[in-house]
Structure 1
Amino acid sequence: MRFASSGSATIVAAGILMGLSALTSAPALAQDGPAGITTPTKFAPYDPKAAACSPPTGLSRVLGFAQDNEREFMQGVDFGLSKAAADRGLEYRRATANNDAAKMVEQVQLFRASKVGAVVAAPVDPASLSYSLQQIMWDGGYVSTIVPPPATLLLNAPQYETGKVLTDAAIAYINDHLGGKANVVLLTQDQIEFLAPRFKAMRDGLSKLPGVTIVADVTPDPVNKEGGFATMSTILQAHPDVDVVLGADTVVLGALAALEAAGKAKPEQFLGGIDGEPEAVAAIKKGDGPYKASISLSSPVFGYAIGQFAADWLDGKSVPQAMDILPSALTSANITQYETDLKDPGAVFADAARRDAYLKMYGNICYDTRDQYVNFPWSSEM
């Protein structure tokens, strides 16, 4: 699915993560303002009834999105943000850096110079962007980031749980359809520290099945569809019989293409990925192919939520300090409801039960307590 154009202003200034790319950061060193919370902290559940405080002054009711690149996952964030902005009467602006870290810094600085009241960032390079984000928060603005600090509201996924949900689906399939035996390929991203728990969960789960052999455990280079194709093509030369492939959707889709090119793709295989990429969803919907599951981290839904909280901040309300994107396994049995939710994230946010299936919120912060912004690599699994 290609997400509909927002119809909102697009900034081309000076010209989140793979599904959540290499996003790691240490707390910023600059001390022009408060350093925020730099010590790893467990936050209490978010209290939506927390007392309101002052709205920021001197800032415009504009929501800006500093987007790292145009992959489908980030298009979903853009879609959700634009819908929330429209629903809350905010002007929406998007700046795409095309994986250029210096360009993103310039774009965020332009947001600040324009007194944009709320900024959402999927950093290309968290370390180089952190000071600019701190400046916006010191000015009283709302900042939400997709994974790395610093942020007023930091968004992350429970990474071990994400890998476990996919692994549990694969294990059930191996037991139910493959007699407990399988040759498995893991296409990893262990070089990205915050993603490594996904693959630890895979190894932990698969190690409990004596009939499973992990024939390859490797990080494609690059970590994209082309890298997945090249890596899988090499693996097949040494291990032509593969039953299960696990990894991020983009590399597993490349592996599927390699299996098809080699005449090795079979309906009884289990290919599963993470991110709920539209191409993976389309492959699952076919129902008779090897692609059996994808773990959804629904970007339109969380994009809509952080856009709503941006508007709340500008209205002087209390918002969460951190938010989990909860993983769920997409299969042919539940994919219709998922696609409905992608198209209308506002309806999901308005329905507490549906929203809570996707998101979990922690802590409280508002303009008056903005010195308590998150400035450490937060995870609910810490």
Structure 2
Amino acid sequence: MIRKRALILMLVVAFISATAFAQGTAETTKPSSSKDIKLAYVSMNLANPWNIAVKNGFEAACKELGVQYLSIDSQYKVDKQVADIENLINSRFNGFTFTPIDPNATRDLVNTAKSKGIATASIAQMQDNVHLIYTLDEYDYGYSIGKQAGEWIRDNLGGKAKVAIISQDNVEAVIPRGNGVQTAITDICPDVTFVSRQAGDTPEGGMKIIESVLQAHPDLNVVVATNDSGGIGGYQAMVVNGKTTSKHAVFSGDATAECLALMKEPNSIYRGTVDLFPFKGGYESAKILYKYVIEGIPAQQETIMLPYVPVPQADLLSGKYVPQN
């Protein structure tokens, strides 16, 4: 009798443990139709026009697919991004893409999401343990930005200029982009003087940096930013301070609508950007996440490189370059 009771007790304990384990690792329920699918985009910072374009592309695809969707701004706060992703997991989203602020802080969360059958992706800056990596070669992209600036300095200023770089050195993964910018300019114009390299990848941050640089270096010729967001602020600071002659220039990367509009202004010193196709990246990320949810997540990690194309001011004004979306 005692043995029988012990056996029953063991079975009860095993059942409770198995139930608790199943609840802790429950997979997201496979949706019966598109309208039941929930996808999300978690932005690093929606003050950046490039990220806004990614959001627009992501949402456009979600609307076409007829799925539920959510876009979240992590506001460059690691703790907020962690909480945002935790909420998506707890809310049983079927898939999400995000740009990690600190990949180390989100690595375990991604593993948790994957264990629950949630499709995961990162865009631009890389999270190495997601199902889909949609990324770029940061150094090479920066070199493309700097190459335009270096060629302009060579052709218009005889290879000599005072240059300020507005970087994204506040994000470790993007530091190589600034390095690429600086190396390209130096390769083409070794006599250039770099008077500043500071992180400021928002319009407000870029403007504040260049206003400060101009106080110390009123003969500043060229501003080069690692993205349009900081470049727009640098451009505004140059214009406000009257640095709008044929000996002044601003270059950046992303080819956002805001940047392209400034390049089209009469006598604009915004002389070049690089199109990184953010709308396309957001759009395709949503489509691929949807495919994973419907057809199953592939065993092998998938990597797609963001394309990019230099956009000199002359190409934009002549119509040779036509922006997409």
Partner of 1:58: 29
Separation of aligned partners in 2, 1:213 and 1:334: 26
Question: Residue in 1 aligned with 2:202?
Answer: 224
Q: Which among 51, 72, 80 is matched to residue 57 of structure 2?
A: 80
State the AA in 2 paired with 1:226.
Answer: E
In the alignment, which residue of structure 1 is the partner of 2:308? Answer: 327
Number of residues paired by the alignment? 287
Distance of 1:134 and 1:175 partners within structure 2 = 49
Please give the TM-score of this superposition, normalised by the length of structure 2: 0.77
2:112 maps to 1:135 = yes
Structure 2 residue matching 1:170: 3-state secondary structure? helix
1:241 aligns with 2:219: yes
**Residues 182 and 211, structure 1, Cα contact 8 Å, conserved in 2:** no
In the TM superposition, what whole-angstrom CA distance separates every residue of 1:215-235 from its partner, at most 9, and x where no partner exists? Answer: 413214x54333322322232
Q: What does residue 307 of structure 1 align with?
A: 286
CA, structure 1 residues 129+210, in 2 after alignment: closer, same or farther (shift >3 Å)? Answer: closer
Instruction: Write the letter of the residue equivalent to 2:46.
Output: E
Question: Equivalent residues in 2 for 1:135-154 (5 A)?
Answer: 135-146=112-123, 147-149=125-127, 150-154=129-133
Higher helix share: 2
- The structure having more radius of gyration, on CA atoms, is 2
The secondary structure found in structure 2 opposite 1:168 is helix
Asked whether 1:106 is paired with 2:83, we answer yes
Shift of 1:211: 6.5
- Please tell me whether residue 92 in structure 1 is matched to residue 69 in structure 2: yes
Indicate conservation of the 8 Å contact 2:28/2:93, yes or no. Answer: no
The CA distance in 1 between the partners of 2:190 and 2:68, in whole Å, is 56
User: TM (normalized to structure 1)?
Assistant: 0.67
Distance in 1 separating the partners of 2:44 and 2:149: 31
Query: Which segment is superposed worse, 91-100 or 135-144?
Result: 91-100
Trace 1:172-251 onto structure 2 (pairs within 5 A): 172-209=151-188, 212-220=191-199, 222-248=200-226, 249-251=228-230
Report the alpha carbon displacement of residue 315 of structure 1 after superposing the two structures with TM.
2.4
Provide closer, same or farther for how the CA distance between residues 65 and 59 of structure 1 changes in structure 2, counting only shifts above 3 A. Answer: farther
Instruction: Summarize the Cα distance change of 1:322–1:261 in structure 2 as closer, same or farther, 3 Å threshold.
Output: same
SS in 2 for 1:144: strand
- Structure 1 pair 286–113 and aligned structure 2 pair: CA distance change class (3 A): same
Equivalent residue of 1:206, what SS? helix
In angstroms, what is the RMSD of aligned CA positions? 2.8
Q: Distance in 2 between matches of 1:337 and 1:76?
A: 22
Question: Counterpart in 2 of 1:70?
Answer: 46
CA distance in 1, matches of 2:140, 2:255: 16
Amino acid at match of 2:251: G
String of CA shifts for 1:73-92, please: whole Å, max 9, x gaps: 22212211122222233222
Change in Cα spacing, 1:309 to 1:254, as seen in structure 2 (3 Å) is: same
Unaligned runs of 5+ in 2: 1-20, 22-26, 32-36
1:199 alignment partner AA: G
> What do residues 4-50 of structure 1 show as CA deviations (whole Å, max 9, x unaligned)?
xxxxxxxxxxxxxxxxxxxxxxxxxxxx9xxxxxxxxxxxxxxxxxx
Separation in 2, partners of 1:124, 1:178: 38
Q: Which residue of 2 aligns with 1:117?
A: 94
Name the counterpart of 2:14.
none
Deviation of the 1:99 alpha carbon = 3.8
CA distance in 1, matches of 2:232, 2:171: 20
Asked if the contact 2:148–2:312 (Cα under 8 Å) also holds between the matched residues in 1, the reply is no
Secondary structure of residue in 2 paired with 1:341: coil
Q: Report the secondary structure of 1:288's partner residue.
A: coil
1:209/1:309 CA distance change after superposition, 3 Å:
closer
